[in-house]
Chains A and B, each alone.
Chain A
Amino acid sequence: MRTFAPLLLMLAAPAFAQGSGPTPALANRQLADPAQEAQAMRLMHSLRCIQCQGQSIADSDADMAGTMRAEVRQQIAAGQKPHAIRSWMIDRYGEWVSFEPDMKGAGLLLWIAPFLIFFASIWLARGLFRRRT
């Protein structure tokens, strides 16, 4: 049994867990136009994979990431603007899908917090230095 155990493990369900189906053509094939491909690639690095949640769709090998890459490339090839494609994804999965939070609501706070903290600390430090002299 011990000799067969690794063999049985290799046959275990997870190996087949993703089912079978064709991968969309544009999931792993670059666009013919290098400028468009670069644009698509930049966007793919800033969109989050739904299945393996820490990775961008450019880095992930999950099926859903492949489908999302194909969608991005298709829309770029059709002349769609990257910000519009990002909104298209956000319309379906919410803000969560984007690695670049929008500048509104809690996202706005994220963007301006560093500046707020910077100026607040200057203001605090100024007071301290003034007392020394």
Chain B
Amino acid sequence: MNRPWLLWIPLAVVAFFGGLAIFGLAEPEDTQVHSAMIGKKLPEFALPAATAGVPALSNTDMADGKPRLLNIFASWCLPCKAEAPYLEALKAAGVEIDAIAIRDKPEDVATFLAEFGNPFRRIGSDRELAVQLQLGSSGVPETYVIGGDGRILFQHMGDIRAEHVPMLIEKVNAAK
């Protein structure tokens, strides 16, 4: 045996993969698919109004120099109901919020707004998920911070909870 160190190579390889496996187990799992559109301009779209009485939404509506939130919701989505009071809180703090309703009917959106309030300036209706796909959004609810120039700055996945409200206000203010 002229090169005894060779014997250690298999052990080192096994130890490396073992370590990798333990590292993988210790790392908390993130099964969310984040949008790759952060930092990019909003895609071009012009959605019809989701319900009577609230204006429709196009990408140019959100490039008027004022940063705001874009909320992706649906009347059939349970966590969307849970986040409704926090959207109200954000609106009360002076944050402007636009929304896209996913796979929804006008009457269902109207019922939802009547029950949970309407914190939205505009609501576009995306019944075929076409805009959701272009946004790189993977579910409801999701909330984006949109810069005054129509650039996507931040994506919050899942419902907004009390602890997320100050963070979102700060992100919108930072974009001013």
What is A's interface to B at a CB cutoff of 8 Å?
A: 13, 16-24, 50-51, 53, 63-64, 66-68, 70-71, 90-94, 96-97, 124, 127, 131
B128 touches A24 (CB 8 A): yes
- Residues of chain A within 8 A of B33, CB atoms compared: 50, 53, 93-94, 96-97
CA distance A64 to B81 in the complex (A): 22
CA distance A127 to B7 in the complex (A): 11
B127 touches A51 (CB 8 A): no
- 28 chain-A/chain-B pairs, Cβ below 8 angstroms: A16-B76, A18-B76, A19-B76, A19-B104, A20-B76, A20-B104, A21-B103, A21-B104, A22-B127, A24-B128, A50-B138, A51-B138, A51-B139, A53-B33, A64-B132, A64-B133, A66-B129, A67-B130, A68-B133, A92-B37, A92-B133, A92-B135, A92-B136, A93-B35, A93-B136, A93-B138, A94-B33, A124-B9
- Residues of chain B within 8 A of A96, CB atoms compared: 33
Interface mask (B110-134 → A, CB under 8 Å = 1, otherwise 0): 0000000000000000011110111
Query: Which partner residue on chain A sits nearest B140 by CB separation?
Result: A19
**B97 adjacent to chain A (CB < 8 Å):** no
Per DSSP, chain B at the interface is: loop
Pair count A-B, CB < 8 A: 80
CA distance A103 to B83 in the complex (A): 41
Across the interface, A21 reaches (CB within 8 A) one of B3, B36, B128, B139, namely: B128
- Residues of chain B within 8 A of A71, CB atoms compared: 130, 133
Interface residues on B, range: 20 to 34
- Residues of chain A within 8 A of B102, CB atoms compared: 19, 21
- Residues of chain B within 8 A of A67, CB atoms compared: 128-130, 132-133
**B34 adjacent to chain A (CB < 8 Å):** yes
CA distance A90 to B127 in the complex (A): 23
Closest 6 CB pairs between A and B? A21-B103, A21-B127, A92-B136, A19-B103, A67-B129, A19-B76
- Residues of chain B within 8 A of A20, CB atoms compared: 76, 103-105, 108
CA distance A67 to B103 in the complex (A): 12
**With A18-B103, A21-B103, A67-B129 in contact, is A92–B76 under 8 Å at CB?**
no
Most buried by B among A67, A68, A90: A67
